[in-house]
Amino acid sequence: MSLRKWFIGSVLVKVLDVATTLFLVVRDGPKVESNPFTANMMNAYGIVPGLVLNVIIISMLLYILYKYKCKELLTIATVLIALVVMINLVTILIGWV
C-alpha cells in the first residue's frame, strides 16, 4: 500500500476509535477511558471537546510520520490504533449481550 493510503487509513481508524470511545463513555461514564492523557483532556475540556482534541493531536502526529515518509512507524501506529478499536468493539458487544 502507498504511504498516503496508510495515512488516510490511520486517520479513519482514529476517528473510529474516538467514536467507539464516545459510545462507551456515554454508556458507562468517563471511568472507562484508561488512557490518562485522554481522560485528563475529557475532565478539563469536557467529553466531546476532549475527544475532538485527541483526534486533532493524533492526526497531526500521524501527519508528521506521513510527511517524513516513515511508513514503518505509520503502519505500527495504525495497527495499534486498530487494536484499541477492536478492544472497544468487543467491549460494546459484550455490553449488549
29: left (phi over 0), alpha (psi -120 to 50) or beta: left
Distance between CA atoms of 11 and 62, rounded to whole angstroms? Answer: 8
pLDDT in tens, 11-67: 999 999 999 999 999 999 888 888 999 999 999 999 999 999 999 999 999 999 999
- pTM to 2 decimal places: 0.90
